[in-house]
Amino acid sequence: MPIDTLRHGFAVAAPPETVHAHLADPHSYVGLSPLVVAVRDVRPVRDAQGRDAVGYVAVERFRLGPLRWDNPIAVTLRTAGSALVSTVVSPGRVRLVATVELAPNGTGTRVTETVEVRCPGVLRAFVLRQARAVQLGRATELARRMAHA
pLDDT digits (tens, 9 = 90+) for 67-121: 999 999 999 999 988 899 999 999 989 999 999 999 999 999 999 999 999 999 9
Residue 136: its H or E element: helix 124-147
- 57: β partners: 40, 74
**Percentage of the chain lying above the pLDDT 90 cut:** 86
Give CA–CA dist 84/102, Å, rounded: 9
pTM for the full predicted model: 0.93
- 87: β partners: 76, 97
Give CA–CA dist 13/110, Å, rounded: 9
Domains (ranges, CATH) in the chain? 3-147 (3.30.530.20)
Give the per-residue pLDDT at 57. 98
Give the per-residue pLDDT at 132. 96
End-to-end distance of the chain based on CA atoms, in angstroms? 40
